């Protein structure tokens, strides 16, 4: 799993889904594959980003992206069609190039390419669902004793980079006496209770508001599969 340190609390989080680079390291993936053109939304974003950045100077990058996404969702259909029409020639060209490219693949390579596409789609889907659950106010998961330790000491650790800080904290945690670790273990147990209580309250709230469907979202780890044996493209 990939590791990152979130700001501003410096809380360590491990994502269940591997990074794309690692996830596809076992798959066939040719650099000669046609590149997907921009979507109509990305075209809108790139053209309007500077305008909205000046219009909302107090918003940070994340807030600005959320605001532009909201504006796009509420954009009149005829304005969306303008952006869709602007990218249509590139998409038509891409589909032709992709059809030609796939016609040159052997069955094993074609199957691997389909699997790569499926994994990318699943990753995007899970990211979207997580954003929706956050918007619905789903409680943050409980933290482990090690995560709590890192969050408390990350900023004060003397190191030149986040990677070095994390490495130093790992070493400190490894050598920490058991009585000191027990303090963080108790904090982790308390956090589990907090999470369980908040989840019960949140689930009741979702059911009462008619959104019990969001409780059925499931997240699965995207696992690597054995790299298929393929022959080089001719």
pLDDT in tens, 207-220: 888 888 878 776 55
Among the listed ranges 5-19, 45-59, 118-132, which one has the minimum average pLDDT value? 5-19
Which tokens hold the place of 55? 């219009």
For residue 3, the SS3 value is strand
Q: Which residue has the higher pLDDT, 231 or 58?
A: 58
C-alpha neighbours within 13 Å on the C-beta side of residue 15? 17
Q: State residue 111's pLDDT score.
A: 86
CA angle at 127 for the pair 123 and 132, rounded to the nearest 5°: 150
Q: State residue 190's pLDDT score.
A: 96
Q: For tokens 């979207």, name the residue.
A: 128
Cα separation, 18 vs 123, in Å, equals 9
Is the pLDDT assigned to residue 44 strictly greater than 70?
yes
**Using an 8 Å Cβ cutoff, are 26 and 224 in contact?**
yes
Q: Going by C-beta distance under 8 Å and a sequence separation of 6 or more, which residues neighbour residue 19?
A: 2
**How does pLDDT run across 57-68, given as a tens digit for each residue?**
998 888 888 899
C-alpha neighbours within 13 Å on the C-beta side of residue 29? 14
**How does pLDDT run across 167-189, given as a tens digit for each residue?**
989 999 999 999 999 999 999 99
Torsion, CA 54, CA 59, CA 61, CA 67, rounded to 10: -90
Q: State residue 120's pLDDT score.
A: 85
pTM, two decimal places? 0.51
Percentage, residues of the chain above pLDDT 90? 38
CA angle at 28 for the pair 27 and 29, rounded to the nearest 5°: 110
Is the pLDDT assigned to residue 82 strictly greater than 50?
yes
Q: Going by C-beta distance under 8 Å and a sequence separation of 6 or more, which residues neighbour residue 87?
A: 37, 38, 39, 40, 43
């Amino acid at each position: 799993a990939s590791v990152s340190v979130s700001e501003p609390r410096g809380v360590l989080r491990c994502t269940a889904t591997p990074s794309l680079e690692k996830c596809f390291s076992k798959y066939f993936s040719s650099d000669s594959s046609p590149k997907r053109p921009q979507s109509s939304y990305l075209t809108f974003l790139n053209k309007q980003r500077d305008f909205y950045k000046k219009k909302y100077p107090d918003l940070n990058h994340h807030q600005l992206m959320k605001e532009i996404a909201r504006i796009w969702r509420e954009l009149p259909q005829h304005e969306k069609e303008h952006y869709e029409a602007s990218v249509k020639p590139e998409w038509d060209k891409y589909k032709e190039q992709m059809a030609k490219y796939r016609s040159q693949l052997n069955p094993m390579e074609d199957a691997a390419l389909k699997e790569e596409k499926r994994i990318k789609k699943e990753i995007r889907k899970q990211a979207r669902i997580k954003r929706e659950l956050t918007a619905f106010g789903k409680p943050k998961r409980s933290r482990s004793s090690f995560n709590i330790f890192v969050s408390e000491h990350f900023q004060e650790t003397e190191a030149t980079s986040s990677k070095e800080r994390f490495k130093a904290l790992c070493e400190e945690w490894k050598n920490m006496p058991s009585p000191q670790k027990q303090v963080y273990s108790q904090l982790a147990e308390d956090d589990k209770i907090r999470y369980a209580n908040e989840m019960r309250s949140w689930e009741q709230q979702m059911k009462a508001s008619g959104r019990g469907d969001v409780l059925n979202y499931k997240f699965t780890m995207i696992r690597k599969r054995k790299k298929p044996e393929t022959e080089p493209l001719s």
